[in-house]
Structure 1
Amino acid sequence: MIVVLKPGTPNLEIEQLTQEFQSQGLNPEKIVGKHKVVIGLVGDTADLDPLQLRELSPWIEQVLRVEKPFKRASRDYRHGEASTVTVTTPGGSVAIGEHQSLVVVAGPCSVENEAMIIETAQRVKAAGAHFLRGGAYKPRTSPYAFQGHGESALELLAAARQASGLGIITEVMDTADVEKVAAIADVLQVGARNMQNFALLKKVGAQDKPVLLKRGMSATIEEWLMAAEYVLAAGNPNVILCERGIRTFDRQYARNTLDLSAIPVLRSLTHLPIMIDPSHGTGRAEYVPAMAMAAIAAGTDALMIEVHPHPAKALSDGPQSLSPQQFDQLMPQLAVLGKAMNRWPQPAAAMI
């Protein structure tokens, strides 16, 4: 249930309403929008009468029930307004959201060595990326495949951040690793295989770094949003949704099916920012540019693109990785479409 307050509602009135809702056993959450303040009521609201609640104050404009099971993730919870996730990086704050400039995340699937990750970071930064992605811990289908260097790779990501000034996005796979990953990463990624690892979702929700939540390989949109709800319910409001392709029938020509229809669907259902990963979504480097541009046209807030100095020698996901030269060529193409969509930094509108 949400309580929509009239424009100009005094802070004292908001505090008094908050105390009143708390006295009724509810957990009120104040949400400051562009034009209005909304109080989200979390708890047992089934027996509450919206008309009676409106009588509590002349400053209450509306009382609405949130019918969707994903309460906090629902767009209704913010009275239709989109949320922005602002990430503090060495180079400044980067804002990710529906009304912000497009954000680009680039880097290798996994961190292989110091020279490789620093070279990649510097190259993608020079091309215009805002974040470096790179896996320290890698979930792999085969137990014999490269699993990442683990904790030592986190130190290499820290070195790459210092050398490039980019923010760092890296995956956390285990609740035991959340604190050490959060000490280095600017954004914690929960991968597709862990989308419904509820213990992990609660753990990343209990810390304050933003969370990038990838869609599970066979997850419905509602299951994905309910996973986001776990993070939000644990207290972390900064969640970014990442579509990275789902498993369908034909895997001969593409690794996954990139569900670009998820962008308008999510836009209607949730206030959370949206990222598209065309690298995992297709599994083929030659398809990445087309899908990246299609994602911008469809309205994505961010892109995640795999870049490796030598894709043919990559320890993981080489076939879907662009070389730095290919990334250099792609970014101006993305800029043309991004400017047409009024979503491209001019020169750095995403930096605040």
Structure 2
Amino acid sequence: MIIVMKHGAGKEELAEVKKRIRELGYKTHVIHGETRNVLGAIGDERGKSVLQSLESLPGVESVVPILKPYKLASREVKLEPSIIDLGNGVSIGGEKLVVMAGPCAVESEDQILETAYAVKASGATVLRGGAFKPRTSPYSFQGMEEEGLKLLALAREATGLPVITEVVNPRDVELVARYADILQVGARNVQNFALLKMLGRLDKPILLKRGMATTIQEFLMSAEYILAEGNQRVILCERGIRTFETATRNTLDLSAVPVLKEQTHLPVVIDPSHATGHARLVPSMSYAAVAAGCDGLIIEVHPCPEKATSDGPQSLRPEAFASMMEKVRAFAAVAGKTI
């Protein structure tokens, strides 16, 4: 249920409503709007009729049932888009298009620093890089782990870019959170509910990637796991879905952008690198994603892709990324955004 507070309702009235929600056995989540506050009462739906009595409390305008199965992620709870602070003065969800760029895997100090300086010079505002790498083959490079995290932190100190990296295992959440500004959940972990719950207890942004065979509703239900634990800083990422097509690594579902914008207030990022699997296709899909209305891009960039330990064929060279960013600026302007 959604409890809509009256315009101008004070802190005392809000506190009383929160107290009453808890007494009725529900969790309470406050969403602060521009003109009024809204509370989400989350719990067993079988007894939700008792929440209707909250309409009689001072400061309450109305009590409305949430029809979507994903409650906190729904635009029924929060009509205006969420703007999420990513650290170091970078926010996503507003008028700025956020570009996250960097190598698939952190390989060395020289590699990550060279890439970080290059992507920043071209306009990226977040550095991406994998310290833990979930790979299809157990014999493939699995990442530098904590040493990789330390190198990402070094790159952040050198460039001022906030860093995003993937967390693979629930036992590593605390470790990764110690170093990273944004924690990424990969496609293979989109329904790892134990991991999602742990991330929901952090006060850090979470970038949640859509699974290869995950429907939009299932995707949003996964986001709900994080939101329900109290972390409201969730970013959705479309990275391609698995179809019968073999010309590309995956099929980039750009229709997900307007659909998600209708269904949720959460920011939407597109990953054209994993979607296409080919560096030559990344620029075109980036332009299309910006035109479709995404809030950000996450791009793989490597100074020497032919020597990359993972995903070299889909990684742009720094000079190609710089060229792409020039055109991205033009598409962003048409879409009403800046970089």
TM-score tier after normalising by the smaller chain length? over 0.9
Instruction: Give 1:205's aligned residue.
Output: 200
Shift of 1:65: 0.6
Supply the distance in 2 between the matched residues of 1:26 and 1:158 (Cα, whole angstroms). 39
> Which one is further off, 331-340 or 38-47?
38-47
Q: What displacement does 1:68 show?
A: 1.4
Q: Give the aligned partner of residue 329 of structure 1.
A: 323
Pairing of 1:44-193 with structure 2 (within 5 A)? 44-47=44-47, 48=49, 52-57=53-58, 59-78=59-78, 80-89=79-88, 93-97=89-93, 99-193=94-188
Equivalent residues of 2:123, 2:325 under 8 A apart: yes
**TM-score, length basis structure 2:** 0.96
Q: Give the distance between the partners of 2:274 and 2:44, measured in 1 at CA.
A: 40
Q: Aligned letter for 1:63?
A: V
Q: 1:304 aligns with which of 298, 301, 306?
A: 298
Report the TM-score when normalising by structure 1. Answer: 0.93
Aligned residue number for residue 270 of structure 2: 276
Give the superposition deviation at 1:45: 4.8
* Local SS of the residue matching 2:39: strand
Cα shift at 1:298: 0.6
How far apart, CA to CA, are the structure 1 residues paired with 2:95 and 2:127? 19
Q: 1:54 to 1:289 in 2, by over 3 A?
A: same
Distance in 1 separating the partners of 2:171 and 2:231: 18
Q: Give the drift of 1:322.
A: 0.5
Contact kept, 8 Å, 2:286 with 2:297, in 1: the verdict is yes
Write the distance in 1 (CA, Å) between the matches of 2:278 and 2:261: 27
Aligned residues: 338
CA distance in 1, matches of 2:200, 2:10: 31
Instruction: Please give the root-mean-square deviation of Cα atoms over the aligned residues, in Å.
Output: 1.4
Does the 8 A contact of 1:245 with 1:257 survive in 2? Answer: yes
2:258 to 264, 269, 290: 264
Deviation at 1:245, TM superposition (A): 0.5
The letter for the 2-side match of 1:116 is Q
Report what 1:35 is aligned to.
Answer: 35
- Separation in 2, partners of 1:139, 1:49: 45
Amino acid at match of 1:201: L
Post-superposition shift, 1:20? 2.4
- Once residues 333 and 321 of structure 2 are traced to their aligned partners in structure 1, the CA distance between those partners, rounded to angstroms, is 18
Structure 1 residue 142: Cα displacement = 0.9
- Distance, in Å, in 2 between the alignment partners of 1:336 and 1:272 is 24
Which range moved further: 151-160 or 318-327? 151-160
Partner of residue 341, structure 1: 335
- Structure 2 residue runs of 5 or longer lacking an equivalent are none
Task: Give me the whole-angstrom Cα distance separating, in 2, the residues matched to 1:216 and 1:269.
Answer: 18
